[in-house]
Amino acid sequence: MNTFLGLDYNIWWFLVFGGVISGYAILDGFDLGAGSLHLLLKKEQSRRIALNAIGPVWDGNEVWLVIGGGALFAGFPVAYAAIFSAFYVPFMVFLVGLIFRAVAIEFRSKEPMLWWRKGWDIVYCVACIIIALSLGLMLGNVAYGIPLNEHKEFSGNWLSFFNPFSILVSITTLALFMMHGAIYLTMKTENRLYAKLHILANNFIIFFVLSFVITTMYTLLYVPHLSDFFRGNPGGFVIPVMMVLAIANIPRQIKKGKYRYAFLSSALTIALLLIMVALEVFPYLLFSTSDPHNSITIDNAASSPKTMKILLIIALIGTPLVAIYTTFVFWTFKGKVKLDETSY
Kindly state the helix (H) or strand (E) to which residue 196 belongs, with its residue range. helix 191-222
* CA distance to 62, 104, 299, per residue, from 69 (Å): 11, 24, 18
Query: What residues between 56 and 85 interact with other proteins by CB under 8 A?
Result: 56-57, 59-60, 62-63, 65-67, 69-71, 73-78, 80-85
Q: Is residue 2 at the binding interface for other proteins, with CB under 8 A as the rule? A: no
Query: What residues between 31 and 60 interact with other proteins by CB under 8 A?
Result: 43-45, 48, 55-57, 59-60
Query: What residues between 251 and 290 interact with other proteins by CB under 8 A?
Result: none
Residue 7: phi, psi to the nearest 5?
-110, 145
Residue 26's nearest CA partner among 149, 180, 146 is: 180
The smaller minimum CB distance to other proteins, of residues 191 and 332, is found at 332
The smaller minimum CB distance to other proteins, of residues 258 and 309, is found at 309
The smaller minimum CB distance to other proteins, of residues 71 and 200, is found at 71
SS3 at position 204? helix
Query: What residues between 143 and 162 interact with other proteins by CB under 8 A?
Result: 151, 153-155, 158
Q: Which of 102, 167, 239, 244 binds other proteins (CB under 8 A)?
A: 102
Which one-letter DSSP state was computed for residue 154? B
Q: Which of 1, 5, 112, 234 binds other proteins (CB under 8 A)?
A: 112
The smaller minimum CB distance to other proteins, of residues 229 and 333, is found at 333
CB of 217 to other proteins, least distance (A): 33
Question: What is the CA 123 to chain-centroid distance, rounded?
Answer: 20
CB of 86 to other proteins, least distance (A): 6
The smaller minimum CB distance to other proteins, of residues 35 and 171, is found at 35
CB of 78 to other proteins, least distance (A): 6
Residue 72's nearest CA partner among 89, 58, 87 is: 87
Residues 180, 206: contact at Cβ < 8 Å?
no
Residue 303's nearest CA partner among 16, 10, 5 is: 10
Spatial neighbors of 255 by CB under 8 A, at least 6 apart, are: none
User: What's the angle, vertex CA 305, arms to CA 302 and CA 146, rounded to 5?
Assistant: 5
Query: What residues between 155 and 214 interact with other proteins by CB under 8 A?
Result: 155, 158
Residue 25: phi, psi to the nearest 5?
-65, -40
CB of 114 to other proteins, least distance (A): 6
Q: Is residue 325 at the binding interface for other proteins, with CB under 8 A as the rule? A: yes
Residues facing residue 8 across a β-bridge: 3
Q: Is residue 92 at the binding interface for other proteins, with CB under 8 A as the rule? A: yes
The smaller minimum CB distance to other proteins, of residues 119 and 251, is found at 119
